[in-house]
Amino acid sequence: MKFVVCKTPEEIGEKIAKEMIELIQDKPNAILGLATGSSPIPTYKNLIAAYAKGEASFKEVSSFNLDEYINPPFEEATYRYFMKDNLFSHVDIDLKNTHFPSKENMKEYDEEIVKAGGVDFQILGIGRDGHIGFNEPNTPFDSKTHIAELDESTRAANARFFHSLEETPTEAITMGLSTIMQARHIVMIVSDLSKVDALKALLKGEEDLMWPATVLVNHPSVEVFVTKEVFDTAK
């Protein structure tokens, strides 16, 4: 696990996007594992800018998103909408090649990823409690794509995207931890001081079920992009 310390979230976005563009230039039909939330937005902005400059085409790219809410109260709250708004509608990706987990495809989602050739590049954020995707504390490290009941702390953190905490979904479909671990290369973004405790758990370099992200310590190719402020606070 390599820690890449950056000054700002924008610098993180530039560096991750550069890696992704180089991958797509080398492998036009790359398989991307994508995340939502505020952390990857600077990365997506840089990908859009690269596409606008003619530096990358997404025509042959396929994507598999980490997760999706169950029964969100309005379309704008779905992660499919988020991805269209923050990336897909601004580049030339074929929407037929974009995939999201659901109740209907949950049992086949892992198999679909394998059939596509496996994820080449997986983007992850991290929750205050160390969750990745919606794999909450005590999720088995061998878990596959599944329905997750969201912890109250997770719902509280995501309530800003809804009109109230009561409206925030209580369940989601998420790639499992073992699903995520199958990706060939993984980048994690840690750019908020509220994630300091989760980063501390990662810095220990030991697996801990209470901190789901620690499953990554045994992955052969992980980069953790972290702002200097967060890194210095966690040390």
Residues 14 and 12: their CA atoms lie apart, in Å, by 5
Rounded CA-CA distance 63/94 in Å is 10
- Whether the Cβ atoms of residue 116 and residue 64 lie closer than 8 Å to each other: yes
pLDDT class for 150, splitting at 50, 70, 90? confident
Mean pLDDT of 208-221: 97
pLDDT at 75: 84
Q: Is the pLDDT confidence value at 168 over 90?
A: no
Sheet holding 171-174, edge to edge: 67-69, 171-174, 146-149
Q: Report pLDDT digits (tens) over 59-74.
A: 999 999 999 999 887 8
Residue 161 has pLDDT above 90, yes or no: no
Please name the fold of domain 2-189: Rossmann fold (3.40.50)
- Does the structure show a pLDDT above 80 at 153? no
Which pLDDT value is given to residue 122? 98
Catalytic residue numbers read: 67, 129, 131, 136
Proportion of the chain above pLDDT 70, given as a percent: 100
Predicted pLDDT of residue 76:
84
Predicted structure pTM score: 0.93
For position 180, what pLDDT does the model report? 98
Domain ranges in the chain are 2-189
Sheet holding 222-227, edge to edge: 2-6, 222-227, 186-190, 121-124, 31-34, 62-65, 98-99
Predicted confidence band at 158 (pLDDT cuts at 50, 70, 90)? confident
Angle at 139 between CA 133 and CA 143, to 5 degrees: 80
Higher pLDDT, 53 or 169: 53
Query: Does 183 have pLDDT greater than 90?
Result: yes
Q: Is the pLDDT of residue 171 over 80?
A: yes
